[in-house]
Amino acid sequence: MAGLPSYGVAELNDAIGTLLERGFAPRFLLTATVSRPQRKKGHLWLTLTDGEASISGVIWASQLPKLGFIPNEGDGVVVVGRLNFWAARANLCVQVLDVRPSLTAVLRQFERVRALLEPEGLFDPARKRPLPEAPGRIALLTSVPSSALADMLRTARERWPATSVLVVAIPVQGPVEAQICRAIHRVSAETTRLGLEALVLARGGGSREDLAVFDGEALARCLADCPLPVVCGLGHEDDTTIADLVADYRAATPTAAVVALLPDQGVALQRLSQARGLLRQLLTLRLQNARTELLRQRQRLGLLHPRQRLEQQRRWLQQRRQLLQALSPQHLLQRGFSLIRDPQGQLLRSARAVQPGALVTVQLVDGQVTAEVREVTMDPAPPRPQPRPQPHPQQRRRG
């Protein structure tokens, strides 16, 4: 035994403690499952295990209020800790400085709530309500202040400044599901008085573990009972929570939620410009048609005017007068013709009606002359037309 170092119990424990302090990292990450959590004198004691080994852990009472997540039995966690070694009893444990649910635990909770709510139809697309086309006022539930809120407000001003935004501050990380539900209940109760038309639940960035609060059953039922259409913009594009499945519209990001809910004023102005141009064309066409119809009616009225009717009658009478003058015997006399009558005053139209020695009256353009017929000469009779020869029946057949 000579040459071996010699310790007392206290000295040995102090040496072990010194060795751990010098040779082990002051802080480290530990992935484990929580077992048998117990509160003693305000401190939370628990066992951290991976199924093959285990180590004790403690969250001091002074640290508990600072944590956003308090683990329960069976929760998968990622611990930020450091080693605590009590030399008096050579007792080693992990002092928990911070703790968050592990991704496995988060996904297990997500699947558990999903399996519970899906049979009730809370995720059914048929129950999704349509979003308002141009809401006058919306409620925006998110953390204040935050970069996500700044981006959403800027996007709302750029897209549709006519929409008023009511910002409701809520915590978005840690065991805050009850606080979020209370905020949604308050907004739902004041919907009519505040003139709200939609609700946006948003949280920017963070890991999937940070979004675990939005996988709660109570929050899902609260969103389903909300009288307003709900738009969720939580985390990143690849993150899907229970709240996203219940919402009427799931946006990839908080900014995308505002884009989905509010119309684009640039597009609206373009449509208004097109509608204005179309309306101008329609009005111009209607005015042209009305002007054409007015001109037609004016022309029709002009034709029906008494002066115009009199002028038409005057022209008609003038035409008839000219026609009568053209057909008048006097007109023929002026052209050098004469009218011959027998002693009884009847017009002689044939030489056969006059015998030599008869007295006739010849009417000229400027008077009458009484004459005696000395000789009557008849014009030779015109030749009669010869009948057209008929073709031979055999010739007709050949033709």
pLDDT in tens, the chain (399 residues): 667 888 888 888 888 888 887 778 888 999 888 889 999 999 999 999 887 888 999 999 999 988 878 888 888 888 999 888 888 888 889 999 998 888 877 888 899 999 999 999 999 999 999 999 999 999 999 999 999 999 999 999 999 999 999 999 999 987 799 999 999 999 999 999 999 999 999 998 888 888 889 999 999 999 999 999 999 999 888 889 999 999 999 999 999 999 999 999 999 899 999 999 999 999 999 999 999 999 998 888 877 778 777 888 888 888 888 888 777 777 777 777 888 888 888 888 888 888 888 888 888 878 888 888 888 888 876 667 666 666 665 555 554
Q: Where does 57-213 have alpha helices with state H?
A: 103-117, 147-159, 177-189, 191-194
Residue 280 in tokens: 């101008």
Q: What is the pLDDT of residue 392?
A: 61
Residue 279 domain-assigned (yes or no): yes
**Smallest Cα–Cα separation from 191: which of 138, 148, 118?**
138
Residue 382 domain-assigned (yes or no): no
**Same domain for 193 and 292?**
no
Q: What is the pLDDT of residue 399?
A: 45
Are residues 70 and 79 in contact, defined by beta-carbon separation less than 8 angstroms?
no
Encoded amino acid at 213, one letter: V
Sequence-separated contacts (24+) of 249-257 with Cβ below 8 Å: 249/128, 249/131, 253/204, 254/142, 254/148, 254/149, 254/151, 254/152, 254/200, 254/202, 254/203, 254/204, 255/148, 255/151, 255/152, 255/155, 257/152, 257/200, 257/202, 257/231, 257/232, 257/233
For the chain, what is the domain count? 4
Residue 202 domain-assigned (yes or no): yes
Residue 306 in tokens: 């008494």
Boundary (domain end) residue, out of 56, 83, 101: 101
Are residues 215 and 109 in contact, defined by beta-carbon separation less than 8 angstroms?
yes
Are residues 242 and 218 in contact, defined by beta-carbon separation less than 8 angstroms?
no
**Same domain for 223 and 113?**
yes
Residue 201 in tokens: 């639940």
Provide φ and ψ at 292, rounded to 5°. Answer: -65, -45
Q: Where does the chain have alpha helices with state H?
A: 9-23, 103-117, 147-159, 177-189, 191-194, 217-225, 242-246, 254-261, 265-303, 306-327, 329-334, 393-398
- In the 8-state DSSP scheme, what is residue 90? T
Residue 390 domain-assigned (yes or no): no
Residue 392 domain-assigned (yes or no): no
Tell me how crowded residue 222 is: count the other CB atoms within 10 A of its CB.
Answer: 22
**Same domain for 93 and 238?**
no
Are residues 110 and 138 in contact, defined by beta-carbon separation less than 8 angstroms?
no
Write the CATH number for 37.
2.40.50.140
Residue 340 host element (H or E): strand 339-341
Are residues 109 and 218 in contact, defined by beta-carbon separation less than 8 angstroms?
no
Boundary (domain end) residue, out of 101, 128, 158: 101
Q: What is the pLDDT of residue 158?
A: 94
Residue 248 in tokens: 């009427």
Residue 166 in tokens: 């009511």
**Smallest Cα–Cα separation from 229: which of 171, 188, 183?**
188
**Same domain for 53 and 179?**
no
* Radius of gyration, alpha carbons of the chain: 58
Query: How is the beta sheet containing 359-364 ordered, strand by strand?
Result: 339-341, 359-364, 367-372
**Same domain for 91 and 119?**
no
User: How many helices (DSSP H) and strands (DSSP E) are in the chain?
Assistant: 12, 13
Write the CATH number for 254.
3.40.50.261
Distance CA 253, CA 200 (A): 11
**Same domain for 119 and 174?**
yes
**Same domain for 145 and 181?**
yes
**Same domain for 142 and 155?**
yes
Distance CA 341, CA 359 (A): 9
**Same domain for 336 and 256?**
no
Residue 5 in tokens: 């170092």
**Same domain for 145 and 229?**
yes
Single pTM value for the model: 0.59
Environment class of 79 (CB within 10 Å of its CB; exposed 0-12, middle 13-18, buried 19+): buried
Residue 397 domain-assigned (yes or no): no
**Same domain for 246 and 152?**
yes
Residue 284 domain-assigned (yes or no): yes
Are residues 244 and 234 in contact, defined by beta-carbon separation less than 8 angstroms?
yes
Boundary (domain end) residue, out of 101, 130, 159: 101
**Same domain for 278 and 338?**
no
Q: Which domain holds residue 342?
A: 329-372
Residue 60 in tokens: 């001091």
Environment class of 105 (CB within 10 Å of its CB; exposed 0-12, middle 13-18, buried 19+): buried
Distance CA 103, CA 77 (A): 8
Residue 316 domain-assigned (yes or no): yes
Quote the longest CA-to-CA distance of the chain.
204
